[in-house]
A and B are shown apart, each in its own frame.
Chain A
Amino acid sequence: MSPVTVFGLWGAAAVGLGLYGMIVHPHPLRKILAFNVLGSGVFLLFGVVARRGAAAGFGGDPVPQALVITGLVVAFAATALAVVLLLRLFQEAGSATLGDDAPARPNTETTPV
């Protein structure tokens, strides 16, 4: 098995790990972390595809690599927005849970997990 395939399998595992964390963690911050782990797995798959496409003297296909760079920046922007939303939820509701057992104010939207 080539090293590139090993990284690809690890990318698949990261997606599974992140998905699991997103489902089972009640804490929204942990969900954000798990979402980022999931995303890193997807990016790694791009990296594997790029590496396999190494040709013309390049270490990898530059197109998927460029897409990953764009993706990393967008993922960071989404994470920053999610963190700010979470802090605001905490400020408003006094708790950072998404469960309907949260001691939330009546006008606060709650979503059952």
Chain B
Amino acid sequence: MTPLQALDAGVVALVLAVAVWTIAAREAVAAVVGFVVYGLLLALVWLRLGAPDVALTEAAIGGGLSGVLLLGAAGRLRAAGTTAGQEPGIVLRLVAVALSVTVAAGIAASVMRLPDPAPTLAPAAAANAAATGLGNPVTNVLMAFRAMDTMLEKVVLLLALVGVWSLAPDRLWGGRPGPRHRADPQGALAFLARLLAPVGIVVGVYIFWVGADHPGGAFQGGTILAAMWLLVMMAGLTDAPPVGRRWLRLVLLSGPAVFLVVGLGGLGLGAAFLAYPAAWAKPLILAIEIAMTLTIAVTLGLLMAGVPERSARE
């Protein structure tokens, strides 16, 4: 067994153990902690699968943002001493085991029978890479070859945010999301936020920028920027903005809007929706990505901040 094979086996065993823990742990908080570790280990798996772009996204979202979100929720539910509700009976458990094993076995059987040689679009992506001038094939797919998916995904993010906001009571509509975080201004958290946020912002912008030619991109960079914003909010250095603010709404709309305008421009110039004129492909893609990174950062940050709970004047 080569060292790399041993690493693979070790990573799979660890991921398996942590996933079982996430499902089987007694306490919700313990399960959430397991899930955060699971997300970070999955990033390793993605690296071993030759997908550094996905690994970055998984580490930032699966390990980072999801962890903060779920830990916060678990803490709020536990502080109030929620009852877990009725435990399922033995019959339901057995049925669940049978169903899960059947589904897993079916998928495993199809994994073993995957066609050989595997169908792939990699040669097509390589052949058309010159059209955009980007060196990272994943960014090429996201921003050019399947740009429609990426645009609609921005809309899905916005819809989720509207869904979150719509849970606010009428009188707080447009107010500030979440509780006001207070931390000791001389404490470790405030210190960390002052120290880490400037570095994190540079890292986030860098990851977005190198995404054109190397692993990285708008999603990963935007997620890091969102995390830095959250850190500063949690340390009490700044407050979440009222969600009714016009500048905020404009930033939220800028990503999908720029995408849509460029897309319609492609239609108007005769080619097709979201077709970039060859000479302008890279600048246009960069313009979309800049707007998208901002929108992703603000949308993710506000999704994490939650439902408006305080009036805008507070």
A60, B103: Cβ atoms under 8 Å?
Answer: no
Q: Does A108 contact B (CB under 8 A)?
A: no
Q: Please give, as numbers and ranges, the residues of chain B lying within 8 Å of A95 by CB-CB distance.
A: 82-83, 85
* Partner pick for B122 among A16, A21, A53, CB 8 A cutoff: A53
Asked if residues A16 and B104 are in contact (CB atoms below 8 Å), the reply is yes
The docked-state distance in angstroms from the alpha carbon of A40 to that of B41 is 12
Q: Is B189 part of the contact surface with A, judged by Cβ < 8 Å? A: no
Q: Is B157 an interface residue (CB 8 A)?
A: yes
B302 to chain A, nearest CB (A): 9
Distance of B151 from chain A, by nearest CB (Å): 10
In the assembled complex, the CB of A10 is this many whole angstroms from the nearest CB of chain B, namely 5
Determine the distance from Cα of A6 to Cα of B230 in the docked complex, in whole angstroms: 37
Task: Flag if B142 contacts A90 (CB, 8 Å).
Answer: no
Residues of B with C-beta under 8 A to A44: 42, 45, 49
Overall SS of chain A's interface: helix
B156 an interface residue at 8 Å Cβ cutoff?
yes
The reply to whether A74 and B114 contact each other, CB–CB distance below 8 Å, is no
**Does chain A have a CB within 8 A of B303?**
yes
Stretch at the interface among B62-70, B180-188, B200-208, B246-254: B62-70
Q: B121 near A: Cβ within 8 Å?
A: yes
On whether the beta carbons of A53 and B118 are closer than 8 Å, the reply is yes
Q: Are A45 and B125 in contact (CB-based, < 8 A)?
A: no
Contacts A62-B121, A97-B83 given; indicate if A30 touches B100 (C-beta within 8 A). Answer: no
- Category for how many chain A residues contact B: 35 or more
CA distance A70 to B8 in the complex (A): 26
Q: How far is the CA of A66 from the CA of B93 in the complex (A)?
A: 37
Chain B residues within 8 Å of A113, by CB: 85-86, 88
CB-CB contacts below 8 Å: B93-149 with A: 93, 95-97, 99-101, 103-105, 107-108, 111-112, 114, 118-123, 125-127, 137-138, 140-142, 145-146, 149
Which residue of chain B has its CB nearest to the CB of A27?
B84
Is A19's CB under 8 angstroms from B142's CB?
no
A33-B99 CB under 8 A given contacts A62-B137, A74-B153:
no
User: Which one of B28-36, B265-273, B278-286 is at the A interface?
Assistant: B28-36
Asked if A55 contacts B85 (CB within 8 A), the reply is: no
Contact present for A97 and B156 (CB under 8 Å): no
A binding-site residues for B, Cβ under 8 Å: 3-21, 23-27, 29-30, 32-34, 36-37, 40-41, 43-45, 47-63, 65-70, 72-74, 76-81, 83-88, 90, 95-99, 101-102, 113
22 contacts between A and B (CB under 8 A): A3-B8, A3-B48, A6-B12, A10-B12, A10-B15, A11-B111, A21-B23, A27-B82, A27-B84, A29-B32, A29-B73, A36-B62, A44-B49, A51-B49, A56-B125, A63-B145, A67-B149, A72-B54, A77-B156, A81-B164, A97-B85, A113-B85
